[in-house]
Structure 1
């Protein structure tokens, strides 16, 4: 119900905002603006700086329990858009808005700096020798922000930045008393990434040149999107190399690249089986999660559902986890041994 409501409210916001923007732009370019320049410039300014941010808050942010301060950057964006579109004769109103917005934006900036300081303090408090930096960051963000959705999204973006740029001299993450199982050496994911990156680069350049004939902004937005996808691929593969599946007597730590991450208790595992490509149960896939593109060879069935975080911080509740592992039979034997031990305790 909530995702549907969020989509409807977002659609209403986009529709109403586009109508307001298009209407105002037509008015600014029309003869009406010349007849009553000052009054119309005030009305248009209020639409961009006040009305649209308020719509965003009441239709979208308030439903997600976000604070009003979160819409302040959009007021600044509205001001910048107006400064670029309003005629020079209407810029007087913007001067008043500018000197009103500057103190508010400074307050917002101070608030953000304070939040960054809190994250840094919590990170130092949570970081210990042998702890994983991304998991430490997650705990620090959870202690700073109340909303799990924004925390998961921030952790996802930080993971992409960390694995794509800062992880090249790091060693795989291991834990004492845990068996590790890799999943990147025998899969075709690296080849797939290289092929997709090649397509994105070659076709991206061609499409960029074509779009430049119509819109420079659209061309650069598309190109930056392609670059982000390539960086995402690089980060995912680096995360795969550095985060093997870890199996201990208490739990299984799964961080499958940046595609999925979770912990599952050994006591909560119903079965671990090696499967073939044709054995995927389509009817059960709604309550399952699996790697992108790669055909899985291991199925973990759970007694009760767990929450798995996957791409872009999205949370999914599942009772089946599909994986591809380099040595699936060894993984099955190790899990079965620990499950048997757990049952005898």
Structure 2
């Protein structure tokens, strides 16, 4: 998971606080009276459209599934019921059903994806098992098997993401790191896994509190929020397992860089220009970040990369739900830096 920059988080909190505060004062200050009858609709627009859009651009985009925009809209509507007096809100009670319908559409999409997958399971499993000897990590094997039976599209990418999350979070606990390739861990000298364990604990506590709070307002909303929080916990569990089970891997012709379940990069050695010690700044500019694969784990205090790997031409990084970007270099911090450098550098000479 990509860490949320402090500047973005603070700006999001500032803007949302201004929106909620200004709307609250609008109804409470005598100087603002009388208010037009349509003022409730304007406040609803702020709470269920403007605030979720801010959440998307500052928090959700490229970090969490887009479905969390619906949760942000539900939370905005919950806030609106406390801010807007009853007489201004009654005429727009239909809004809540529109929001619930949106969440229902996401659930139906999940069921449709499951149905599509089940109809092709036998052939898919055979292809997946046959690829085990050639492709060392689960996401790469999964992507190849899906490509053989599903058209290349955003839907196929959603299949891959959902299956990877469920596999790592629920079914991978007895698995071990692939032994048929050179593998280099990158988490043992960091607090990355501890950070996700802390986030899971926080989500469990928050889920209970939010469920109780929302249940008094709307049982449906409380269960929707509970479902989304449970999904987030599965995502964090998948991230932990992917970090453990999918280290950086080196084969004769390929370098596989996977940073948890969130992003991965497979590069042929013929595409690698050089590998050298990283001597750049601790924090890259926003423009530089767009062209770099960041393989250093999120941590309580993130460390600088050990190595920078440059490419002859841009390479495609695969991220959640079919998102991708083109990068010209990768930053990594393997636990055994010297062995990793020798493994990569020796294959560059050979190429």
TM-score in terms of structure 1 length: 0.61
Q: What's the offset of the Cα at 1:124? A: 0.9
**Aligned 8 A contact 1:269 1:302 in 2:** yes
Q: Distance in 2 between matches of 1:207 and 1:276?
A: 45
Moved more, 306-315 or 186-195: 306-315
1:194 equivalent in structure 2: 197
Instruction: Find out whether 1:245 has 2:248 as its counterpart.
Output: yes
Q: Residues 119 and 204 of structure 1: is their aligned pair in 2 closer, same or farther, counting only changes over 3 Å?
A: closer
1:66 equivalent in structure 2: none
Instruction: Find out whether 1:289 has 2:293 as its counterpart.
Output: yes
Instruction: Find out whether 1:334 has 2:336 as its counterpart.
Output: no
Deviations 1:82-104 (A, max 9, x none): xxxxxxxxxxxxxxxxxxxxxxx
- Which residues in structure 2 correspond to 1:1-345 (within 5 Å)? 116-128=118-130, 130=133, 132-175=137-180, 178-275=181-278, 278-282=281-285, 283-291=287-295, 293-294=298-299, 295=302, 296-297=304-305, 298-342=307-351
2:59 equivalent in structure 1: none
Q: What's the offset of the Cα at 1:280? A: 4.1
Q: What's the offset of the Cα at 1:119? A: 4.5
Q: Residues 133 and 197 of structure 1: is their aligned pair in 2 closer, same or farther, counting only changes over 3 Å?
A: closer
Q: Distance in 1 between matches of 2:313 and 2:225?
A: 42
Give the match's secondary structure for 2:154.
helix
Q: What's the offset of the Cα at 1:113? A: 5.9
Unaligned runs of 5+ in 1: 1-9, 15-25, 30-47, 57-72, 78-107
Give the match's secondary structure for 1:264.
strand
1:90 equivalent in structure 2: none
Q: What's the offset of the Cα at 1:311? A: 2.5
Q: Distance in 2 between matches of 1:159 and 1:112?
A: 13
Q: Distance in 2 between matches of 1:115 and 1:209?
A: 35
Give the match's secondary structure for 1:213.
helix
What's the C-alpha RMSD, in Å, of the aligned pairs?
Answer: 3.6
Give the match's secondary structure for 2:145.
helix
Q: What's the offset of the Cα at 1:115? A: 5.8
Q: Distance in 1 between matches of 2:174 and 2:232?
A: 23
**Aligned 8 A contact 2:154 2:321 in 1:** no
Tell me how many residue pairs correspond in the alignment: 247
Q: What's the offset of the Cα at 1:232? A: 0.9
Q: Which has the higher helix share?
A: 1
Moved more, 253-262 or 123-132: 123-132
Deviations 1:12-59 (A, max 9, x none): xx9xxxxxxxxxxx8xx9xxxxxxxxxxxxxxxxxx9xxxx9xx9xxx
Q: Distance in 2 between matches of 1:200 and 1:123?
A: 34
Q: What's the offset of the Cα at 1:153? A: 1.5
Give the match's secondary structure for 2:217.
coil
Q: What's the offset of the Cα at 1:120? A: 2.6
TM-score in terms of structure 2 length: 0.60
Q: What's the offset of the Cα at 1:179? A: 2.1
Q: What's the offset of the Cα at 1:157? A: 0.7
**Aligned 8 A contact 1:153 1:314 in 2:** no
Q: Residues 249 and 152 of structure 1: is their aligned pair in 2 closer, same or farther, counting only changes over 3 Å?
A: same
Q: Distance in 2 between matches of 1:275 and 1:207?
A: 44
Q: Distance in 1 between matches of 2:166 and 2:341?
A: 33
Larger radius of gyration: 1
**Aligned 8 A contact 1:180 1:246 in 2:** yes
